[in-house]
Amino acid sequence: MGIRHSIVGLLEILNWMEGKGHSRQALLHGTQIDDARLTDPKATLLPEEELQFYRNLLKVSGDTNIFLESGFNLKLATYGVWGLALISSPTFGKAIELGIQYIDFTYTYNDISFFEDGSQAGIRISKSAELGDLQKSMIERDISATFVLLQTLLQQDRPAQEIRFSWDNSAPLAYYETLFGCRICFNQPETEVRFDQEYLAHELPQHNVLAMQLCTEQLEKIRPQLFVAQGLVEWVQEYLLSTPLYRVSMEACAKELNMSSRNLRRKLKEEGSSYKDILDEFRFALSQKYLRNTRMTLEEIADRLGYSDAANFSHAYKRWSGEAPRQSH
């Protein structure tokens, strides 16, 4: 299932490149993006359109480091409601937790996760989809974008202690140190932006619990519109994304898809799947995300996944993974 991104992020980088003297036509070549969409703040992009734009960016610029610099154009305001939710969070740690929970609203094509390691904590960026010639470049863009978010939330020019790359440098070390103002390491096991763990408890100056709750409700409401379904299995996944899990059922899903539950069961079987299998996979993936990237309790996760209590969730998780959820926490 592909994800539609807001056109705002692309527009920021497009304007930046035009300011450097590059042609809009060349940057949009091979996409279906026209001026009407560029001027509509609610417009979205298909994944293939956005990736084509970034291929054009690399070709037009002729600069192998252009993605590192492009990420600095993705300011907090570029993310809309997601960005407002982050800055309204009570602490920096809560902002990270919320941000990862709704990571679909960013411009990433990578897997973004949070970790703690001794006196440091950080954001790990690794590939989640095959992007071919853009694989390394899109991770570089996300490193810079993450760095900008840290600057904004913590109100510090140099919020990172260390940035680790899982590949060799393509420019002099001084170039990276000038960009990020921190220790830079290459050929590391993971690509990470690391900061002082004590920042997690840092109270955000613009925190507003009511604003954060309203933003979260809005994110939940519009999230289903981001996904581009391609087959019946993905339509079922979209239904699960758009419905609180305590309310989901095969009958309601079939009604949403304008068919009988019997017909839905038959068609899913033809695709080698079933409603129960899709629901289990969806819950398992979501539970892993919550266990690894948030500090939610088992009771909170169980409630979010539609289970009556933590014991029922734990039983299901052990059936899926072969281990208790606390071992994955």
Instruction: Provide the residue-wise pLDDT of the chain in tens; the chain has 329 residues.
Output: 578 899 999 999 999 999 999 999 999 999 989 999 999 988 999 888 999 999 999 999 999 999 999 999 999 999 999 999 999 999 999 999 999 999 999 999 999 999 999 999 999 999 987 899 999 999 999 999 999 999 999 999 999 999 999 999 989 999 999 999 999 999 999 999 999 999 999 999 999 999 999 999 999 888 877 876 567 888 888 888 878 898 999 999 998 888 899 999 999 998 899 999 999 999 999 999 889 888 889 999 999 999 999 999 999 999 999 999 977 65
Burial class (CB in 10 A: 0-12, 13-18, 19+), 124: middle
Which CATH homologous superfamily contains domain 2-201?
H-NOX domain (3.90.1520.10)
The token pair at 212 is: 């954060």
pLDDT for 58: 95
Question: Is residue 184 within 8 Å of 176, Cβ to Cβ?
Answer: yes
What pLDDT was estimated at residue 229?
A: 59
Quote the pLDDT of residue 243. Answer: 84
Predicted pLDDT at 146:
98
| Beta strands at 183-185 and 162-164: parallel, antiparallel or unpaired | parallel
Q: Which helix (H) or strand (E) holds 283?
A: helix 275-293
Domain boundaries of the chain, sorted by first residue: 2-201, 229-328
H/E/C letters for each residue in 112-181? EEEEEECCEEEEEEEECCCCHHHHHHHHHHHHHHHHHHHHHHHCCCCCCCEEECCCCCCCCHHHHHHHHC
pLDDT at residue 231, rounded to an integer: 78
The residue behind tokens 């507003």 is 208
Cα–Cα distance list, 75 to 107, 148, 237, 241 (Å): 12, 7, 31, 27
Angle between helices 92-101 and 135-154 (to 10 degrees): 140
**Whole-number pLDDT of residue 42:** 87
Please state the separation of Cα 270 from the chain's center in Å.
Answer: 32
* Cβ-based burial of 40 (10 A; exposed 0-12, middle 13-18, buried ≥19): exposed
User: Environment class of residue 42 by beta-carbon count within 10 Å: exposed (0-12), middle (13-18) or buried (19+)?
Assistant: exposed
**The pLDDT of residue 1:** 56
CA distance 73 to 318: 43
Distance CA 152, CA 77 (A): 10
* Cβ-proximal residues to 252 (8 Å cutoff; 6+ apart), any chain: 239, 243
Assign domain 229-328 to its CATH superfamily: Homeodomain-like (1.10.10.60)
- Residue 127, phi then psi, degrees to nearest 5: -70, 145
What is the C-alpha to C-alpha distance for residues 163 and 122, in angstroms, rounded to an integer? Answer: 9
Which residue, among 64, 326, 65, 106, has the nearest Cα to 318 in the 3D structure?
Answer: 326
